[in-house]
């Protein structure tokens, strides 16, 4: 646990505590660890939470195995600061109206997220599949569906945009990180370079797909952040993490635990330091 007197955190204690928790996001259990602590993360997690950040229905196109063309999207920034403008690029096939609900992920009394705003209804359109470029690069150049400046009161964290069709039940995510340039007890670096390396959207176009072999290890492929996140390889055909990279699968439980325990944590992307 943090040394409340020194204000410093021992990395071994963080890892030991997280391992003891089994990296499990056990929703519904309130923490007493934040008593006597005061920082922006503790204050943020005292705000009302909701489980509505979770998508309830998605579908993966069996012909591509990875994408959800009914509604899918990506954002202009993997990491963004308050005051900067975020662009969302969304494709709906067939065309139809949709909305976007924005959430910050954390502890929030066990709910796991807090609703921040809703945009919509927005008119969806079919956006074109990008051509196969040099080294099998798939780089979307879609038209923006929504643009807005990140509000000043959106503190550092991992944020989801839940995309929902209004004339059907299909949903998916976009994901981005809000960063803060300040000192903190814990700096949480999301591994979004890895998410993108294993992203096979639209079909077999990960960094390790060369068009000939399964999980090739060579320099014949490149990948781009300018595309949706496809289904990550797992046992479910229609995972309720569609569009979130690998954050919900592997990293969110640690973020949930850190905020539950009241650590002063800020978040950044691999792209911020590479």
Where does the pLDDT of residue 9 fall: very low under 50, low under 70, confident under 90, or very high at 90 and above? low
> What is the residue whose two structure tokens read 């640690």?
254
Percent of residues, the chain, with pLDDT higher than 90: 69
As a whole number, the mean pLDDT across the chain is: 88
* pLDDT above 60: residue 173: yes
Per-residue pLDDT at 19 exceeds 60 = no
Report the pLDDT value the prediction gives residue 235, as an integer from 0 to 100: 60
pLDDT of residue 18: 53
- Give per-residue pLDDT as tens, 94-147: 999 999 999 999 999 999 999 999 999 999 999 999 998 898 898 999 999 999
| pLDDT over 50 at 21, yes or no | no
Give the number of C-alpha atoms closer than 13 A to the C-alpha of residue 239, restricted to the C-beta side.
20
Q: What is the pLDDT of residue 33?
A: 61
Query: Cα-flanking dihedrals φ and ψ of residue 212, to 5°?
Result: -125, -40
Higher pLDDT, residue 203 or 178: 178
Residue 128 neighbours by CB distance under 10 Å:
10
| Residue predicted with more confidence, 232 or 236 | 232
DSSP the chain: ---TTT----HHHHHHHHHHTTT---TT---STTTT--SHHHHHHTS---STTS-------TTTSS--TTEEEEES-SEE-TTSEEEEEEEESS--EEEEEEEEES-GGGT-EEEEEEEEEEE---PPPPP--GGG-----PPPSEEEEPPTT--SEEEEEEEEESSS--EEEEEEEE---S--SEEEEE-HHHHHHT--TTTT-STT--SSSTT--SSS----SSS-----SSS-SS-TTTTSTTIIIIIHHHHHHHHHTT--EEEEEGGGT-
Q: Which pLDDT value is given to residue 43?
A: 98
pLDDT (tens digit per residue) in 67-99 = 999 999 999 999 999 999 999 999 999 999 999
Contact of 140 with 127, CB cutoff 8 Å: yes
For residues 263 and 116, what is the distance between their CA atoms, to the nearest angstrom?
A: 22
Q: What's the CATH superfamily of 11-272?
A: Macroglobulin (MG2) domain (2.60.40.1930)
């Amino acid at each position: 646990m943090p040394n409340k007197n020194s204000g410093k955190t021992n990395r071994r204690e963080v890892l030991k505590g997280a391992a003891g928790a089994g990296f499990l996001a056990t929703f519904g259990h309130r923490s007493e660890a934040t008593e006597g602590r005061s920082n922006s993360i503790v204050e943020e997690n005292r705000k009302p939470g909701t489980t509505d950040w979770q998508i309830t229905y998605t579908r993966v196109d069996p012909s591509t195995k990875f994408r959800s063309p009914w509604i899918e999207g990506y954002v202009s920034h993997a990491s963004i600061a308050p005051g900067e403008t975020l662009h969302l690029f969304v494709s709906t096939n067939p065309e139809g109206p949709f909305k976007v609900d924005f959430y910050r992920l954390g502890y929030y009394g066990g709910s796991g997220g807090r609703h921040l705003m809703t945009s919509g209804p927005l008119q969806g359109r079919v956006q074109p599949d990008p051509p196969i470029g040099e080294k099998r690069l798939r780089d979307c150049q879609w038209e923006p569906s929504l643009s807005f400046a990140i509000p000043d009161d959106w503190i550092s964290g991992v944020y989801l945009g839940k995309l929902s069709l209004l004339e059907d039940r299909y949903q998916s995510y976009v994901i981005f990180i809000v960063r803060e340039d300040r000192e903190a007890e814990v700096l949480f670096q999301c591994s979004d370079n890895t998410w993108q390396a294993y992203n096979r959207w639209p079909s077999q176009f990960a960094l390790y797909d060369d068009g000939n072999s399964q999980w090739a290890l060579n320099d014949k492929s490149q990948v781009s952040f300018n595309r949706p996140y496809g289904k990550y390889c797992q046992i479910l055909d229609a995972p309720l993490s569609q569009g979130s990279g690998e954050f919900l699968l592997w990293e969110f439980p640690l973020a949930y635990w850190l905020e539950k325990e009241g650590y002063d944590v800020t978040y950044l992307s691999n792209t911020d330091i590479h």
